[in-house]
Structure 1
Amino acid sequence: MMTIKDWIYLGITVASYLLAIIAGVYAKDKAKINHATRAGQALDVVGKLASYAVHEAEHIGGTGQEKREFASEIITQGLAWLGIKNVAPNTVNGAIEKTVNAMNIANQAVKPVEPEIAENVPEKDIVQPEAPTPEAPTKDVTVNGN
């Protein structure tokens, strides 16, 4: 027959195993989350470098292929300087394309809408200020409406 003391020890043992299992699952998931977070941060860095590189390449000029190669080189050097390794060339090229597309959309000329001006407005349609009448003299307005 089990005493209260035995039940307490059994409860502590079961709780310890459950805690160990929960901690193991958490540690495994946390490693996945950290890996995904690091990958996301690396992609953010690639995107920022691409933005700088594409704008600099556009400023320097050259053919489209020369600008692309220049931007790719800047991104690769920036990643190396930051210690980010194993970034696929397709990721770099994708970041360059995304930045170029965003820059092209931002640089599209938006035509301002010019107001239509009527050339021959009939005299009766022109609004004139009302002249003061002797019955209602004009009122002088001073500071604060006094």
Structure 2
Amino acid sequence: MTDAIDTRLSNAGVVLPVAAAPAANYVPYVVFGSLLQTSGQLPIDGGKVAVTGKLGVDVTLDDGQAAARYCAINILAQAKAALGGDLTRIVRLLKLTVFVASSPDFTEQHKVANGASDFLVAILGDAGKHSRSAVGVTALPMDAAVEIEALFEIR
């Protein structure tokens, strides 16, 4: 399966970054039993927040979906770090919680979340099918447009 995941990442033109270190007093992930919980991941690309602002104000739906995809890439980077580099230990992505910085009248948080969901299913296959919450918030750290946390079942 690692070959399949690596092949899918390569075909998508994605090289997983080194997992980001925490920016405050927390850990980037926690493994407990057969579960792996990641801390919220921002749309970091090349060491900086790639998409800032609010949906419905100064960020388009397409840019919001791109931000969600960056978050998903960083989730996989954290999972890889947590699992000693072995993504084949992922049994299933159980849940994504997607936070979208948005104006009060923006109601397409679920469409923004599709940027992460579609990417993770494409990379993980059936193991990437998950439950999800998409929530609008007034602001996120470093003015990020999106932040996403994930819960995996692992072996």
The TM-score with structure 1 as length reference comes to 0.30
The TM-score with structure 2 as length reference comes to 0.28
For the pair shown, the structure with the greater C-alpha radius of gyration is 1
Q: Which structure is higher in RCO with an 8 Å CA cutoff and minimum separation 6?
A: 2
